[in-house]
Chain A
């Protein structure tokens, strides 16, 4: 599906994705971080992953298992030590920094775990940040941002800076920013970690609507609601990704950390 909204009609470094091309494909992707006095830390270790357009996948796993690093590698924020990452059929290793940036601008929406909102800017200005270098006029930017904030139920905070928002509100604003450029691929790092159950349902519904429109969504989470609702689930531990079918949910959750919901055995 071709990009719509602000990205429509703009040149980008990728072919127009078709239904046959995987949206995301990683092959033996590895990312080690050097350690001063020990062996390198294996953040991501030989990860294979393939997602088609219109698919949603959830990755869970304990803290420091490499989920965020994996998302960074897929988004092109970081380069793998070895292996291959392809977005929409194009290997990221062959793309320049400018091409990668353009790819993120036009095709990728990123939701960071710690939101990464710019202090001092209002909520709507944060949401509209990806539209600034696209030349979108101020009024149109404000309208687009307000639309997403309204859709996520936080329209009333549009003019407030992040410092004056609760964690949940910040998460909504960050999600609105990830979606404002109508991306083909959404990478959401723990998108419901700060929100209540009702808001989590709203966020999930948003993702499901995007998938229904042919977008691809990858979520890292500890939220069982999200995990339950996703047909493709992966478990990551010590940098390795394992595909877990629905029947093995209990095993998956037994290895996850549960900051809010307690033991998975209590949930299920």
Chain B
């Protein structure tokens, strides 16, 4: 163990002795791994945001402003929004709470009424909900039909075809259970009652209105901004609230992920293009000194394996330093320079400079990958050269 410890410290001392060589190698490795780590980090960031975006649903959520709170949106604006070239879909939605109850025959036990969440969607757009029931006709609920959550169904002991009453203030309406959301649906759908938008409007006494509009924008940069302008022109003087989720980034995801393979190919090509000179530098810079040094070490009793282990420690140290610096440089690149020149490979139609903070995630994986890449480059270059030098008779090395 002491031998390896000695060799490790000898390797560390060598890095300090050959400062120029160490610096040049580290700079080359950082040049290779910096973009690589940046790419990985941005890729991870985009992927995470994409997941969030998918969960969140629409890109924009439009409501009118009602005394500083969200107010209902008249459905008459639907046509205008849908005609916008920047919008792919607009889904009006009613979300509210109601009291659900069931009327049973007199001889059966009555269950207490339950507070439920009402979700009203346009007939035929139930498929937009990720918790859509597994029923062919679920996308087209007929008049008077609802789909209820599994917990609610269990509470009332309801089955498809039975009746459920919903009450909001003075309005009470009977509905027939068309289907029940599956048990593996999201947990908050358990108390949900989904119905047609028109009937939800009647229930809440707001016919011709929606709680909000779910706006799905076209892919590409600038579309969300364009939709904001469209909204302003459509609604005119009416104050409104347009809430942005992470859709702007998510809109780039598709192309971004499609480009990833190509990007990685580019990075690897760059890595090897720069790596070859790095290899030559790592193995060739100071080769004459190295040959003499190895010859002297062997002359005074160092085995070839001792020399190899010491050089391997050198390469490992260099790789670790380079990987850490590459990660640091990558962090600076993303956080300060917003991933310029790299983010465009992962986020489509971005241009060289992103208009929004480029998402990135720096975890252990980029660091480990960078270290592995550095180690592969340095070891493949350094070990063979060292072995070639160390396997010679010492007299040749010290001559």
B299 and A78: CB pair below 8 A?
no
B306→A133 contact, CB < 8 A: yes
Contacts of A130 in B (CB 8 A): 300-301
Known A-B contacts A116-B296, A120-B17, A136-B6; the reply to A72 vs B395 at CB < 8 A is yes
Whether the pair A129, B297 counts as a contact (CB closer than 8 A) is yes
The answer to whether residues A135 and B394 also contact, given A106-B301, A121-B17, A177-B300 and a CB cut-off of 8 A, is no
Residues of B contacting A142 with CB < 8 Å?
none
Asked whether B2 lies within 8 Å of A78 as measured between CB atoms, the reply is no
A132 proximal to B (CB < 8 A): yes
Task: Indicate if A77 sits at the interface (CB-CB under 8 A).
Answer: yes
Query: B313 CB to closest chain A CB, in angstroms?
Result: 12
| B293 & A137 in contact (Cβ 8 Å cutoff) | no
> Is A75 positioned at the interface, with any CB of B under 8 Å from its CB?
yes
A137 to B6, CA, bound (A): 7
- Given the complex, which residues of A lie within 8 Å of B300, measured CB to CB? 104-105, 110, 129-130, 177
With a cutoff of 8 Å between Cβ atoms, the chain B residues found around residue A41 in the complex are none
Interface string of A84-106 (1 = CB under 8 A from B): 00000000000001100110111
A203 to B10, alpha carbons, bound, how many Å?
A: 29
| Cross-interface CB contact of B13 among A78, A116, A121, A133, cutoff 8 Å | A121
Interface range, A side: 20 to 34
* Residue in contact with A104 in the complex, picked from B17, B293, B301, CB distance below 8 Å: B301
Complex: chain B residue closest to A99, CB-CB: B303
Complex partner residue of B299 from A77, A120, A136, CB under 8 angstroms: A77
Q: Using Cβ atoms and an 8 Å threshold, which residues of chain A touch B289?
A: 119
- Docked pose: A177 CA to B1 CA in angstroms: 23
B391 to A116, Cβ gap below 8 A? Answer: no
Compute how far the CA of A132 lies from the CA of B13 in the bound complex, rounded to whole angstroms.
Answer: 13
Smallest CB gap from A180: residue in B: B300
Within 8 A of A (CB), among B56-94: none
B264 at the interface (CB under 8 A from A): no
| Residues in B neighbouring A112, C-beta threshold 8 A | 299, 398
* A112 to B10 CA separation, bound complex (whole angstroms): 22
Q: Which residues of A contact B304 (CB under 8 A)?
A: 97-98, 101
What's the Cα separation between A189 and B393 when bound, in Å? 19
The listed residue with most A CB atoms (<10 A of its CB), out of B10, B17, B18, B296, is B296
Interface string of A121-160 (1 = CB under 8 A from B): 1000100011011111110010000000000000000000
Q: How far is the CB of B152 from chain A (nearest CB, A)?
A: 74
Residue of B nearest to A114 (CB): B398
What total of A-B pairs shows CB separation below 8 Å?
82
Whether A132 and B6, one on each chain, are in contact in the complex, defined by CB atoms closer than 8 angstroms, is yes
Q: How far is the CA of A101 from the CA of B392 in the complex (A)?
A: 12
CB <8 Å contact, B301 and A77: no
- Please report the C-alpha to C-alpha distance between residue A112 and residue B298 in the assembled complex, in whole angstroms: 13
- How far in angstroms is the closest Cβ of chain A from B306? 4
Query: Closest Cβ of chain B: how far from A164's Cβ, in Å?
Result: 14
Q: Give the chain A neighbours of B197 by CB distance below 8 A.
A: none
B208 to chain A, nearest CB (A): 85
Tell whether A133 pairs with B302 under 8 Å between CB atoms, given A119-B17, A120-B17, A121-B17: yes
Cβ A77 vs Cβ B393 within 8 A: yes
B106 within 8 A of A: no
**Complex Cα–Cα for A149 and B162 (A):** 102
Question: Which A residues are in CB contact (< 8 Å) with B147?
Answer: none
Q: Report yes or no: A101 in contact with B302, Cβ–Cβ below 8 A.
A: yes
B17: chain A residues at CB < 8 Å are 118-121
B136 near A: Cβ within 8 Å? no
Distance of B139 from chain A, by nearest CB (Å): 76
Please tell me which one of the listed residues A78, A102, A118, A141 contacts residue B293 in the complex, with CB atoms under 8 A apart. A118
Contact A75-B391, Cβ < 8 Å, known A120-B17, A135-B3, A138-B6: no
A181 within 8 A of B: yes
Asked whether A77 lies within 8 Å of B394 as measured between CB atoms, the reply is yes
Say yes or no: is A79 at the interface (Cβ < 8 Å to chain B).
yes
Is B7 interfacial (CB-CB < 8 Å)?
A: yes
Residues of A with C-beta under 8 A to B384: none
Whether the Cβ atoms of A102 and B394 lie closer than 8 Å is no
Task: Flag if A118 contacts B296 (CB, 8 Å).
Answer: yes
Contact pattern, B 272-316, Cβ under 8 Å of A = 1, otherwise 0: 000000000000000001001100111111111110000000000
Chain B 3-20 per-residue mask, 1 if CB under 8 angstroms from chain A, else 0: 100110110010011100
- Bound Cα distance A105, B306 (Å): 12
Q: Compute how far the CA of A138 lies from the CA of B7 in the bound complex, rounded to whole angstroms.
A: 11
Q: Are B10 and A132 in contact (CB under 8 A)?
A: yes
Most chain A CB atoms below 10 A, which of B292, B305, B394: B394
If A136-B6, A137-B2, A138-B9 touch, whether A105 touches B301 (CB-CB below 8 Å) is yes
Q: Kindly identify, within residues 221 to 267 of chain A, every residue whose CB is under 8 Å from any CB belonging to chain B.
A: none
* Given A98-B304, A104-B299, A110-B300: A135 touches B13 (CB 8 Å cut-off): no
A135→B6 contact, CB < 8 A:
yes
Task: For A129, give the chain B residue with the smallest CB separation.
Answer: B300
Q: Tell me whether A135 and B2 are in contact (CB under 8 A).
A: yes
Min CB–CB distance B138 → chain A (angstroms) = 75
The 4 closest A-B pairs by CB, nearest first: A105-B301, A120-B17, A135-B2, A78-B395
Enumerate 16 A-B pairs (CB-CB under 8 Å) in ascending A order.
A77-B393, A77-B395, A79-B393, A101-B304, A110-B299, A118-B293, A118-B296, A120-B13, A121-B17, A129-B297, A133-B6, A133-B302, A133-B306, A134-B3, A134-B301, A135-B3
Given contacts A116-B292, A135-B2, 15 further A-B contacts (CB under 8 A): A77-B394, A105-B300, A105-B302, A106-B301, A110-B299, A116-B398, A118-B17, A119-B17, A119-B289, A120-B17, A129-B300, A130-B301, A132-B7, A133-B3, A134-B301
